Amino acid sequence: MADLLDDADIDFDRAASAFPDISLDGESDIPFATPPSHTPPPGGPFDLDAFGGPTPARDVRVTGHDDDDEIGKFESEFPELDTVNLPSSQPTFGALPPFAPRPQPSALSATPIFNQPIDAEEPEVIRQWRERQADEINARDERSKTRRQETISKAERAIDQFYEDYNAMRKRQIRENKDSEAEYLSSLTDSLSRGTTWDRICELVELQNSQSKTLARAGPGTTELSRYREVFLRLRREGTGAPGAAGY
């Protein structure tokens, strides 16, 4: 292979002219790198060090100078996301959070009906209606107050009448009880002052003769009172001579 390289004369200019230029607008604006000047002498031994090191890459400008200025301006105004300086997340006293929502105006505040100015003076019809309403309310309040007062007065009169009737009835019962007591005591005194003890006993049991209806309850296990009645009647007939006729 060294013999082939020694015999062949490499022409880099002719090789580069065989390839078309790369350009966006069809013009050849891209500069080509010149081949290295260190070429091996013909007929000499092939040495890789004679070519030297690799040529450093240079920035290739595709667009014009004005376009580069606009691109630089755009990049300065809109930096990449990974280089944006985020605000500090440390909370500060008395300050709103960085992402706190702002209060939005109410939808009703922009409604035309709420923005219309209110007339200072009401129409005559509305004013008269308000006056009639006020008069009716006052009249209704007066009627309610009158009915309430009448109800209270009626209840007070009913309570007073109840106590008057109760006191009158209580006094009448007391008087009747006293009259009944006096009549009973008078009749008791009269009965004790006349006749014998057996006379008063026969009078209390309503026993006048053997045919009287003062009978005991009939049925099995009851006591026959006919003999007992005969004893009371015989003692009453004996008068003061009967034993116990004087009451002792």
Question: Higher-confidence residue: 90 or 168?
Answer: 168
- Whether residue 237 is predicted with pLDDT greater than 70 in this model: the reply is yes
Question: Higher-confidence residue: 106 or 150?
Answer: 150
- Give residue for tokens 């009626």: 154
- Whether residue 245 is predicted with pLDDT greater than 60 in this model: the reply is yes
Between CA 22 and CA 27, with CA 26 as vertex, the angle to 5 degrees is 85
Instruction: Quote the CA–CA distance of 136 and 128 in Å, as a whole number.
Output: 12
Residues 10-69: tens digit of each pLDDT:
676 776 666 656 655 555 555 545 555 555 555 555 555 555 555 555 555 555 555 667
- The domain ranges of the chain are 2-53+60-79, 195-248
